[in-house]
Amino acid sequence: MATAQTPKSAGKGHIIIDVEKCKACELCIHFCPQENLALSESINARGFHPVRMLDEEKCNGCGNCALMCPDVCIRVFRKR
């Protein structure tokens, strides 16, 4: 399982995306209040452009992306 990890110290949260499961439906992109997600230029094994985080420091850990993902490709972690 390939994942793209995006932890950074300045943001309130970070996400881990299972890029191989992502089917590029873009629901997470539309529901991110920070407008911090976009489709990657790379292609996964299924032939889709998986989602990626644009700026790790802008993530507030709200979890909207994970809630909207129909394939449960995104895990959200909040920093204390």
Output the pLDDT for position 77.
95
Distance CA 35, CA 33 (A): 6
Output the pLDDT for position 66.
98
Residue-wise pLDDT tens digits, 48-66: 999 999 999 999 999 999 9
Confidence of residue 8 (pLDDT cuts 50, 70, 90): very low
Distance CA 34, CA 42 (A): 22
Report which secondary-structure segment, H or E, holds 30: helix 27-31
Residue type, 78: R
Residue-wise pLDDT tens digits, 19-54: 999 999 999 999 999 999 999 999 999 999 999 999
Report how many helices (DSSP H) and strands (DSSP E) the chain contains, helices first: 2, 5
Residue type, 54: L
Hey, what domains does the chain have and what are their CATH numbers?
Answer: 3-78 (3.30.70.20)
